[in-house]
Structure 1
């Protein structure tokens, strides 16, 4: 801005009028408010009041172009009032600009610090400024996934089918009815059928005592029973 306050006022006033016209303001009027205020002998503060009518989209365009130039100015207050039966808004902007001792009346370069204009119109121009605020609904929870078919475990179909003596040693037979696999086990033998794992601890005449992995106690399986139906024996 020029150093001479009168030249600076006239120059900036015309610039605001041209900017309002370019943005689509209607009935725009720019008044100089008060006297230039000198600050520390370094610069002067000039104040202007802009009054106009425009849609929210046109106001967004004005603000975007206002802040897109590299100039020492700012909007101090912005008053927006709706008009009945119209999308127009009544606008009043109070703007301050600085006049520097070595300033020149020339067009400033673009500031280059703003995002693309379309991002501002999407975020601002499509809103109703005077409607009650409605918080965004919480994100919908995803419905729980449908449970899949139960995992098949051959161990649930393993049965103790016989207790025999072989060379003076007791032996239990465990058969998986799904695969036909037959296990012939002695005391101390470990076994695995599907996800069922254990160890034969003691073989009696009509049943066997087994320790299953993950459980320190003993379980009693009677002849003809499913291993999954074993009965836990009391500790000790």
Structure 2
């Protein structure tokens, strides 16, 4: 074999090796890809089966939980238990005129749906308490309808409710309230709910705050009592307005709920007093205002007027002797105070005070009486006003 033939043979052999290796590698690669696809398919199938199994476990767990919070499959036992439970809860929370009626239930799959109507009267606070107790009893029940109508001229409400509760097949016993009662609901305890809900009036328009009508500046004298009346009006005419002091009032300032502010300042200067007017609606609305008090030196007190003043109206001028009688052997004088529509029955020794006159009965005679006024004896005849009694002289001369 020549050199040329040997080279050609080597090239042909190498070509066969290359072609064979390429074919073998393709076959090997195809086999690997096929196995990877089989592994991927099997893995996906396994994941799907695991998912189905997990869903089944979750469904079983839910079913077990539902059975713990459902009524037993016995329709009669469930209906009797739940109706009595409703009645106890309603009465314990203060409902009156309670009427509970079971309705025709419905079968659905592995459960039975019981339905009840409830009617009664209660306040809003009692309704909140009942609703809180209803949901604290953690079973498969709910309100399907709730109607509230205010009773005229009363704080009570006419309440109508539809309630639905479930029985589950496989549940043998009624749930024990102490085992499934929730310690509190999602937003807190009963007080948390009443504090929020009872601050609303769901039957009235939105509340408007009161508006101050009293002046914002007042002058006070040093070390002399200041008395000032706050006033405010409310757009909602039936609302009652009360007043409160704001933060950091000067020491000694007092404010009543009716708006009477009292203070005795002990230093000169200007003082700002924050006051609040709050209405009686639910939820209450309020307005604040700053009252500026300017404390100045006191004015000198005027000299007292010692001139005796006669009253503009003297009852003694319209008090008449209307009769003299003997009662139980004792003489009595009858005086009629017309301005006060008052009748006086006086005997000897009795004192009286009518208008500007103060005196004492000395003697009761036929159709006249002797009285002592300011040390003088006077005679008062029937039909004569007390102020016009005739003077007889000093009492010592009788």
Q: Counting helix residues as a fraction of each chain, which structure ranks higher?
A: 2
Q: Quick one: which of 52, 73, 97 aligns to 2:165?
A: 97
How many angstroms apart in 1 are the aligned matches of 2:134 and 2:101?
17
How many angstroms apart in 2 are the aligned matches of 1:16 and 1:33?
14
Q: Residue 71 of structure 1: SS of its match in structure 2?
A: coil
The answer to whether 1:121 aligns with 2:190 is: no
Alignment-derived partner of residue 61 in structure 1: 129
Deviations 1:123-164 (A, max 9, x none): 11242220113489xxx9xxxxxxxxxxxxxxxxxxxxxxxx
How many angstroms apart in 1 are the aligned matches of 2:189 and 2:76?
35
- Structure 1: any 5+ residue segments left out of the alignment? 141-236
- Structure 2: any 5+ residue segments left out of the alignment? 1-70, 210-286, 288-398
Alignment-derived partner of residue 110 in structure 1: 181
Alignment-derived partner of residue 138 in structure 2: 70
Counterparts of residues 208-219 of structure 1 (less than 5 Å)? none
Deviations 1:67-91 (A, max 9, x none): 0121000011110000011100000
User: How many aligned positions are there?
Assistant: 140
Output the TM-score relative to the length of structure 2: 0.33
Q: Residue 79 of structure 2: SS of its match in structure 1?
A: helix
Q: Residue 175 of structure 2: SS of its match in structure 1?
A: coil
Deviations 1:64-118 (A, max 9, x none): 0000121000011110000011100000010000011233123232123511111
How many angstroms apart in 1 are the aligned matches of 2:208 and 2:163?
32
How many angstroms apart in 2 are the aligned matches of 1:52 and 1:90?
6
Task: Give the deviation of 1:46 after TM superposition.
Answer: 0.5
Output the TM-score relative to the length of structure 1: 0.54
Detail structure 1 runs of 4+ shifted over 6 Å in the superposition. Answer: none
Counterparts of residues 35-50 of structure 1 (less than 5 Å)? 36-40=105-109, 42-50=110-118
Alignment-derived partner of residue 173 in structure 1: none
- Larger CA Rg, structure 1 vs 2: 2
Alignment-derived partner of residue 95 in structure 2: 25
How many angstroms apart in 2 are the aligned matches of 1:87 and 1:127?
14
Counterparts of residues 71-220 of structure 1 (less than 5 Å)? 71-103=139-171, 104-108=173-177, 109-114=180-185, 115-134=188-207
How many angstroms apart in 2 are the aligned matches of 1:19 and 1:107?
15
How many angstroms apart in 1 are the aligned matches of 2:154 and 2:207?
23
1:135/1:44 CA distance change after superposition, 3 Å: farther
Q: Residue 17 of structure 1: SS of its match in structure 2?
A: helix
How many angstroms apart in 2 are the aligned matches of 1:131 and 1:83?
14
Task: Give the deviation of 1:12 after TM superposition.
Answer: 0.5
| Farther-moved stretch of structure 1 (118-127 vs 53-62) | 118-127
1:135/1:64 CA distance change after superposition, 3 Å: farther
